[in-house]
Amino acid sequence: MVYSDSQRYWIWLSSIQGLEQKPFWRLMEEYGEAKYVWEQLILAKRLLTPKVFEKVKAARTDEYMDGLFTAMEEAGITALTQLDDDYPMRLRSIDKAPLTLYVRGSLELNDPQMFAIVGSRKITADGMHFTETVAHDLAEQGVTIVSGLALGADRRAHEGCLSAGGKTIGVLASGPEYIYPSEHRELADRILQEGGSLLSEYPPGVKPDARFFPQRNRIISGLSDGVLMTEGTAKSGAMITMRYAREQGRPCFAVPGSVYSMASEGPNRMLMEGAVVTLSAEQVLDYFSWSEAREPAQEQQAELPELDEESRKLVEILRFEEKSFDELAIDMKMNSSSLNSLLTILEMQGIIRQSAGKLYRALV
């Protein structure tokens, strides 16, 4: 991409780690353009702390400038600044909007319908299924799904969207060429291949850091029309995203859960504070009036295969609550070999699922 002088120097100045937003805008107010900071840096000494001034001074070299733009080009990264018309309109309106976004993939970040889904990294079996399902159903209606490419709920949100052929955006807490966790590299490639985006406010070369994740969350909510929390504790990163959503005036949605489950602590608290109860994609679609073209949910569901009496009894048990193998053996009055065969068949048919905790749950 060819950048104008104004864009190029803005990108340079905003890329300097340690130069926060407040001093950046102080410089812009004084100089008018970032280009003049480069040309007359000594005048900035009175506007910056000694430490920050030294950081800007160290970056004011052709080597730094050329290295930044070379790294962007090699990684397929495009920078969008607040000077640009393509900068996301929703994000531009929030407090402390990123000065520059570094984007891999699609630069179309102003889709008509954009919605964030967040939740716990340590997601339950039910949380996995619900998150995938709601993301899939929203994507089928043309909604772009935004999340953070993290373990657990984020991954399920991206994958659910992709399974419907939808577009999804991953917001990173590092330079956009760093995929964290590393096991999500394949998922990141799929997002890009399917027309989605990976973006960050951090330039190439910046590695993931614990300090960056809470700041990243304001971008997830800021890009979106609303935010859904599927699971998470009251002190989770997902709750930080929900707080940002509230501050930004974004509608909040939450999935109710057991009062005894830590996984539902965050959503239940959000519901107490006025979040929209969300049992399916329907509540989101109806809230935003995105549902006019939607077919009735019952018409979209696949019919169940014919089940014999034992299979139907087992499925009915697992529709009510999760059960372990031993509990099912007692409830079904079956020996281990027969029960194992029955469970295997139902899993292969996609009727039940076994969670990481070795509990079974009906998916129908």
Q: How many CA atoms lie within 13 A of 330 on its CB side?
A: 4
- Euclidean distance between CA atoms 234 and 250, whole angstroms: 19
Query: Residue 186: pLDDT above 70?
Result: yes
Q: Give this prediction's pTM.
A: 0.83
Q: In the numeric block, which tokens belong to residue 9?
A: 């120097």
Domain 309-362 has CATH 1.10.10.10: yes
φ and ψ of 220, to 5 deg:
-55, -50
| 355 — pLDDT class (breaks 50, 70, 90) | low
Three-state secondary structure call for residue 223:
coil
Count other Cβ atoms within 10 Å, centred on residue 165: 11
Domain coordinates of the chain in residue numbers? 1-74, 114-300, 309-362
Q: Which DSSP letter does residue 224 get?
A: S
pLDDT value of residue 296: 45
- Euclidean distance between CA atoms 201 and 204, whole angstroms: 10
Instruction: Name the residue type at position 57.
Output: K
Class of 114-300 in CATH: alpha beta
Segment holding 279, helix H or strand E: none
> CA 335 → CA 2, 51, 327, 340, distances in Å?
70, 72, 12, 9
pLDDT, tens digit (0-9, with 9 covering 90-100), for 243-285: 999 999 999 999 999 999 999 999 999 999 999 999 999 999 9
Q: 2-8 contacts: CB < 8 A, separation 24 or more?
A: 3/69, 3/79, 5/35, 6/33, 6/34, 6/35, 6/83, 7/79, 7/81, 7/83, 7/84, 8/65, 8/69
**Torsion-angle region of 305 (φ positive above 0: left; ψ -120 to 50: alpha; else: beta):** beta
Over residues 135-153, the mean pLDDT reads 97
